[in-house]
Amino acid sequence: MMDQLTIDNVQRLPATEDEFGGVVVDMKEHMDVDVFRTLLKISMSRWKLQGKKGIWIKLPIYLSNLVDTAVKEGFWYHHAEPSYLMLLNWLPETVNPIPANASHIARVGAIVFNDKGELLVVQEKMGPLRGVWKISTGIIHQGEDITAGVVREVKEETGIDTEFVEVVAFSQEHNVFFGKSEVLFLCMMRPQSFEIKIQETEIEAARWMPLEEYAAQLSVQEQGLRNRIMDLCNAKAERGYSGFSPSPVTTDSNGNPSFIYFNKEDL
């Protein structure tokens, strides 16, 4: 066992302390596997003596040859992105409280009516809903607000410019994509243009459809979510149903706002 003086005077892995009593190793330079193994062992000994908790190792994809060594030293996969893999080792002999990788995907759906009361619908070229007329939907990008994401999705799929009005409802579904859950935000949109130009790579067709024709589809009658879409459309048209609008509550270090969504009419 190395003593404290020995550990304090040898080279260690490049690391910074996080605000939760842990350490983040951000590997950027190429390193021989044997050198990495030695430095990892030395660093781990020091961190244990210091009472560190969660030890993170961020490995760029070009350093994937170091993964096996880290795993043999007790690390496991926490999450992966296109350019890196994040490994984690929880040192205390306690239950690991660190949250798992992101558990949900955020999706938006756009309810768009023209001045004739017709609903903007699309048919997708692929997937289980191929051939079914449905509202425009899509995944929110990382760092993208709901309001911006739904405008983008409608534009990409149909060529229609829209303005976000409000979130009228949301739903949750589990085991959607590799075990992840999904939250779908249904958004009421106001069209700013009306000429359809479809995204030919993903969309088979798009059109403005009378709500009664949309409701008459067998798939609408069989699926609960689509029934709720119909209920929302009718409630909005007949009773002036109001949804949730965004209000900024804080900003991050880059000046990007965070929002809370609520029914402003009830306040």
Instruction: Give the model's pLDDT for residue 225.
Output: 66
Task: Render pLDDT for 210-243 as a digit per residue (tens, 0 to 9).
Answer: 988 888 876 654 466 667 777 887 787 777 788 8
- Residue 257: pLDDT band (50, 70, 90) is confident
102 or 27, which is more confident?
27
Catalytic residues: 156
CB–CB of 129/207 below 8 Å? no
The pTM of the full predicted model, rounded to 2 decimals, is: 0.78
Q: Quick one: 258 and 167 in the same domain?
A: yes
pLDDT, mean of residues 116-139: 90
Answer whether 199's CB lies under 8 Å from 157's CB: yes
Q: What are the tens digits of pLDDT across the range 67-94?
A: 999 999 999 999 999 999 999 999 999 9
The rounded mean pLDDT for the chain is: 87
Lowest-confidence segment of 1-5, 12-16, 55-59, 156-160 by average pLDDT: 1-5
Regarding whether 137 and 69 lie in a shared domain, the answer is no
Question: Token digits for 101?
Answer: 């990788």
Q: Tell me the β-bridge partners of 260.
A: 247
Rounded CA separation 232/72 (Å) = 54
The CA distance from 79 to 101, in Å, is: 6
Work out the percent of the chain whose per-residue pLDDT is above 70: 91
Residue 239: per-residue pLDDT? 75
CATH of the domain at 73: 3.40.630.30
Shared domain check, 205 and 74: no
pLDDT for 243 equals 85
pLDDT of residue 91: 95
Q: DSSP labels for 171-200?
A: EEEEEEETTEEEEEEEEEEEES-------T
**What long-range pairs does 211-220 form, CB within 8 A, spacing at least 24?**
211/117, 211/118, 211/119, 214/119, 214/121, 214/133, 217/132, 217/133, 219/129, 219/132
Q: Which range marks the domain in which residue 154 is found?
A: 104-262
Interatomic CA distance for residues 56 and 77, integer angstroms: 10
Do 146 and 185 reside in the same domain of the chain?
A: yes
The domain tally of the chain equals 2
Same domain for 45 and 165:
no
Alpha carbons 143 and 149: distance in angstroms, whole number: 10
Within this chain, do residues 56 and 119 fall inside the same structural domain, yes or no?
A: no
Arithmetic mean of pLDDT, 194-212: 93
DSSP symbols for 141-159:
PTT--HHHHHHHHHHHHH-
Q: Write the pLDDT tens digit of every residue in 137-190.
A: 999 998 899 999 999 999 999 999 999 999 998 888 888 888 889 999 999 999
Is residue 123 located within the same domain as residue 252? yes
Query: What tokens appear for 256 in the block?
Result: 């990007």
CATH number at residue 189: 3.90.79.10
Identify whether the C-beta of residue 46 lies closer than 8 Å to the C-beta of residue 16.
no
1 located within any domain: no
Q: Are residues 142 and 252 in the same domain?
A: yes
